[in-house]
Amino acid sequence: MHRPFAQPRPLGPAALRSLCLVVVLVALAAPASAGAQQRDTTRRDTTARRTPRDSVAADSARRVADSIAVVRELERLQNEPRAAPPQQPVGQGGPTNPRLLPDISAVGDLVGDLSSDGSTQDGGERFTVREVELAVQAAVDPFFRGDVFLGLSDLEKVSIEQAYLTATSLPWGLEVRLGRFLMPVGKQNTTHRHDLHTVDYPYALQRFLGAEGLKGTGIYAARIFAPFGFYQELILTAVDRFGEAPEGLTTVEPINKNLSGLGYSARLRNYWDLNEASNVELSFSGITGRREQPVAGGDSSLATAARQSVIGADFTYRWRPLQQGLYKSFILQAEFMRQLNERDPALQLPVGIPSAGFTYAGPDRDFSAAYVFARYQLTRRGYLGARFDTFQDEAASGRTSTAGSGYLEFFPSEFSKLLAAYERYSPALGSATNRILLQATFALGPHKPHPF
């Protein structure tokens, strides 16, 4: 039953010697061949001395003979059995990407808001293309990989969501990125919004890190450890600033004039396999930096720099039996965050303006927020999820707001998702509201890894 299979082998020394010999012989033969061509030319000169009539007759006879030979050759070829069809390709044959094009993909995020009290989307639309994300990803060279994610939306037009260079060959298990990236603070912040199992980020992240998640531009360094026999990873970042600059607030000096004004974060991940079907992750994060906070008593845009930090812990339990993993799974996730605010920062005022009459109008207390999320797989393509959010609302003097929401997710394939959500939001001040949201996402382009 053996089927012969010729596998290319590297040339051995003997083969190399033979190859060199052939090359030398070819090189020596080349001038001889050139000389032969010159001799032919001489011969033509000799024949040119014959009479024109002899020459025409001879040429005509030669042409007829040549034509007959060509026809016979064609007939012979036609009568030959057709060449066998090409063998099954062995492996991937040649390069699959000979032009070295990067992977290009797009993700569309469509949202419908059927809430009874009007749309709760930023632009007030009932149906909106919330964002289209374009990704361009490839190895840059043997040392680096490049990833660029552009966000397109009606509100922000075009924005650089992420653009980073990753060193792929560092020693000591280090990973270093340079550029803009999702900040490794908390669990869900490192997931693209369209990859969430809910329509929006949890309120804790929205309030403390930003509605679209927290990004940073700077340096990211991570290292894996396993001194206690389980997976641990420490991730440190230093970024241009903590969060985006708020609209309508300006400080006298740039917030990051000094290195203490940059944003710094740390995250420690701890992961355990409980058994082959279930595992747990318990991680801790923190970020600190200076942010613009309002100053009362003068121009409403006047701001001063105040330190703000967010610390937190997150827990994720996953269950997916290996044999039935296509049909059954469960996730339980929770995060707790606490925002720490500098209460009495030094006011930065324009030169020559006395400080009398100006007072700090930023947050004067700390705030906490948390959520719990669970998702159970009903069928191969259907999932049922629920989330409970609670947070101390700065706009309500720290009183607690809550939200409870349920989700029905349906995946026609790995590349599309349909989601229906109901949320009851109970603010600290005012009456509760109901939100009904629909979402459809789709992915075009190369198959991406499944987020874990």
Partner 1 sequence: MGTQRIFSMAALALALANGAALAAPPDAGAQLKVVTSTTDLYQIAKAVGGDKITATHIGEGYQDPHFIEAKPSFVLQLRNADVWAFVGLDLEIGWMPLLLQGARNPRLQPGQPGYVDVSKIVPVLDVARGNVDRSQGDVHPLGNPHYWLDPENGRRIAQLFRDTFSQLDPKNASVYSANEKAFTQRLDAAERTWQADLAKIKGQPVVAWHTSWRYFAEYTGMNIVGFMEPKPGVPPSPSHLAGLIETMKRTGAKVIVMEPFYDRKTAEFVASKTGAKVLVLPPSVGGAKGLDDYIQLMTYDIHQLATAL
Q: Any contact of residue 224 with partner 1 (CB under 8 A)?
A: yes
Q: Is 11 in the site for partner 1 (CB under 8 A)?
A: no
Q: How far apart are CA 77 and CA 55, in angstroms?
A: 33
Considering only the stretches 50-58, 232-240, 362-370, 393-401, report the one whose residues sit in contact with partner 1 under the rule CB under 8 A. Answer: 232-240
Contact pick of 11, 35, 276, 365 for partner 1 (by CB under 8 A): 276
Residue 423 burial (CB count, 10 A): 21
Binding flag, residue 127, partner 1 (CB under 8 A): no
Q: Give the list of residues 6+ apart from residue 278 with CB closer than 8 angstroms, or none.
A: 317, 318, 319, 320
- Cα 328 from Cα 120, distance rounded (Å): 33
**At closest approach, how far in Å is the CB of 377 from partner 1?**
12
Nearer to partner 1, 165 or 361 (CB): 165
CB of 202 to partner 1, least distance (A): 22
What type of residue is 438? L
- Specify the 3-state DSSP secondary structure of 129: strand
Q: Does 97 bind partner 1 (CB under 8 A)?
A: no
| 2 in contact with partner 1 (CB under 8 A) | yes
Distance CA 24, CA 27 (A): 5
Alpha carbons 357 and 347: distance in angstroms, whole number: 11
55 binds partner 1 (CB under 8 A): no
Q: Does 269 bind partner 1 (CB under 8 A)?
A: yes
Q: Which 3 state secondary structure label does DSSP give 22?
A: helix
C-alpha 122/C-alpha 144 separation (Å) is 38
Assess contact for 204 and 335: CB atoms under 8 A: yes
Residue 399 or 447: the one with the smaller Cβ distance to partner 1 is 447
Instruction: State in angstroms the smallest separation of the CB of 74 from partner 1.
Output: 30
Nearer Cβ to partner 1 (226/396): 226
CB 186 within 8 A of CB 196: no
For partner 1, give the closer residue by CB, 216 or 218.
218
**How many whole angstroms separate alpha carbon 431 and alpha carbon 226?**
50
Q: Report if residue 447 touches partner 1, rule: CB under 8 A.
A: yes
Options 70-78, 138-146, 338-346, 388-396: segment touching partner 1 (CB under 8 A): 138-146
What is the Cβ-side half-sphere exposure of residue 193, based on CA atoms within 13 angstroms? 26
| Smaller CB separation from partner 1, 1 or 14 | 1
Would you say 177 and 164 are in contact if contact means Cβ atoms under 8 Å apart? yes
Tokens of 409: 């997710």
Torsion of CA 175, 320, 414, 197, to 10 degrees: -80
- Choices 109-117, 139-147, 369-377, 417-425; region in contact with partner 1 by CB under 8 A: 139-147
Binding to partner 1, residues 388-427 (CB under 8 A): 413-415
Q: Is 200 helix (H, G, I), strand (E, B) or coil?
A: coil
Question: Taking CB under 8 A as the rule, does residue 327 contact partner 1?
Answer: yes
Which run of H or of E encompasses 339? strand 330-341
Q: Which one of 56-64, 206-214, 216-224, 286-294 is the stretch in contact with partner 1 (CB under 8 A)?
A: 216-224
Q: What would the x/- binding string for partner 1 be over residues 171 to 210, using CB under 8 A?
A: x-xxxx-x--------------------------------
Torsional sign, CA 278, 330, 375, 161: positive
- Contact residues for partner 1, defined by CB under 8 A: 1-3, 5, 7, 87-92, 96, 139, 142-145, 166-171, 173-176, 178, 218-219, 224, 226, 230-231, 233, 238, 240, 256, 258-259, 262, 269, 271, 273, 276, 279, 281, 318, 320, 322-327, 380-381, 413-415, 446-447, 449-450, 452
